[in-house]
Amino acid sequence: MDFELLKKAVWQANLDIVKRGLVELTWGNASGADRDAGVMAIKPSGVGYDDLRPDNMVVVSLATGEVIDGSLRPSSDTPTHLVLYQEFGRIGGVVHTHSNAAVSWAQAERDVPCLGTTHADHFYGAIPVTRRMREEEIMDAYEHNTGVVIVERFREGHIDPGQIPGVLVACHGPFVWGETPASAVKNATVLESVARMAFQTYMLNSKAAPIDQALLDKHHLRKHGTESYYGQD
């Protein structure tokens, strides 16, 4: 089997998170899934972005995490990506960064509320923060359990990962997804931008209120609903 297209898309997404200013040093990784083939491709661990090439992306089984293609070790965050693909059945790309503003909210352990239309255009409500992980979750299978607490947060909060394509892991940072690696990069860019603006909004007005439901519906559905009228499609 040949994963050339998938590896190229994932390589491009890994370069784009750097180009968009979401990543310093090697603090980030992007993956993409080919659900028909039952695999995902992901950045190799600890390799500098300058040295990335499409053919050193690592392909692993979505079901087992076993390496199927590639000679390098996959990103240490691979088990987190796998849980997200397994539990959020329709996503095709995942991005993890330590982008500045998003991490600040994750460290403050606060959801990023939907304060404006920039946010509403891409996330249909607040972007949640997980609970802190418990000692036993950290000691054993930490990266797998990072995915588990994300899924728990969406399940218990009755949040649809198709409508809110991202999360803040408490004291850590954002994981963001989309239908493709490229759309996951786009959503990660949006998250950083709205996190920065929400920060400044609260500094100016500590009682700033989320937007009204009608405006949230309007903006989100204008772009994402079945009657969307944005763009050229």
Minimum Å gap between C-beta 97 and a second copy is: 10
Q: Whole-angstrom Cα distance, residue 76 to residue 74?
A: 6
Tell me if 43 sits within 8 A of 70, measured CB to CB: no
Check if the beta carbon of residue 190 is closer than 8 Å to that of residue 97.
Answer: no
Subset of 46-85 contacting a second copy (CB under 8 A)? 46-47, 72-73, 76
- Catalytic site includes residue 77: no
- Name the active-site residue from 69, 111, 121, 217: 121
- Please pick, from the candidates 118, 157, 162, 224, the single residue that binds a second copy as defined by CB under 8 A: 118
Q: Give least dist CB 121 to a second copy, A.
A: 8
Binder of a second copy out of 8, 132, 144, 224 (CB under 8 A): 132
124 is annotated as an active-site residue = no
Q: Enumerate binding residues for a second copy (CB under 8 A).
A: 24-25, 27, 44-47, 72-73, 76, 98, 100-101, 103-110, 115-118, 132-133, 135, 138-139, 142, 171-173, 186, 189-190, 193, 196-205, 208, 211-212, 214-215, 218, 222, 229-232
